[in-house]
Structure 1
């Protein structure tokens, strides 16, 4: 396998990891959502709260899926950038996405997110070890 095809394969694997997250969210499955993270992962939500470790991520998201996030789904990102820091570490930045409530088909501008994720390859599989979610803001005109 050439380095170029390895990168293509890795980019596809990272996209599949994000698709697994979207499916877990749509299914309201906290365990499946958490399974896309390393055991020692950090998740920072859009309000600045931090979850550390897969068990905390699973518990918090399942509670959300069972209550205020019930029947919601993740929208696809408008933009996606992948940069390999090393062959086994990737930075994935997505923007222009949101959580869609039942009946919604488009993101509300005030709910657009920017997500910075660090993925690591462990035992041949990609998982997120860091995920920081923040709201997108318009830059102030100069």
Structure 2
């Protein structure tokens, strides 16, 4: 008895192993990032927090840990009413998005800073890199984790 192997057509193999098309997901995630920037510029803590899941984890650039959308809305509003009043976020110099699972995305935005007054550029010492994890729930993408770190040279 011989052993036979099934031959796959070239197009069938490509279809089976082709990476999913995430074009629409990428657009929605970029819209979510834009919504955060818009909320920040408006000084709207609730709108900023609305881009996150109810149980989100948020780590600020100074290492402050905030858990949950409701608490994040409060903390951000306190900042917008105080030391962050009138600020806005710069456009990231680089944004990467990858999809480790169908309903999970990891976003890294690099070269972001908080702009004050009429400033249009960031000072090198103010640049940050952020990592966000987004999840798709009921067809909607929301961030579930956020971590912000100042960009520094190695000693």
Give TM-score, length-normalised by structure 2.
Answer: 0.86
The CA distance in 2 between the partners of 1:71 and 1:53, in whole Å, is 25
Q: 2:86 aligns with which of 71, 74, 78?
A: 71
Report how far residue 103 of structure 1 moved.
1.5
Hey, which bits of structure 1, 4+ residues long, moved more than 3 A? none
For the pair shown, the structure with the greater C-alpha radius of gyration is 2
Superimposed CA distance per residue, residues 32-89 of structure 1 (whole angstroms, 9 cap, x where no aligned partner): 0000000000000111110000011000000100111111000010011101011100
Report how far residue 18 of structure 1 moved.
0.2
Report how far residue 120 of structure 1 moved.
0.3
The CA distance in 1 between the partners of 2:81 and 2:38, in whole Å, is 16
Equivalenced residues, count: 137
The CA distance in 1 between the partners of 2:109 and 2:94, in whole Å, is 6
The equivalent of 2:39 in structure 1 is 24
Report how far residue 137 of structure 1 moved.
1.1
Gaps of 5+ in 2: 1-18
The equivalent of 2:125 in structure 1 is 110
The equivalent of 1:119 in structure 2 is 134
1:58 aligns with 2:57: no
After superposition, residues 127-138 of structure 1 pair within 5 angstroms as 127-138=142-153
Gaps of 5+ in 1: none
The CA distance in 1 between the partners of 2:132 and 2:118, in whole Å, is 28
Report how far residue 138 of structure 1 moved.
1.8
The equivalent of 1:95 in structure 2 is 110
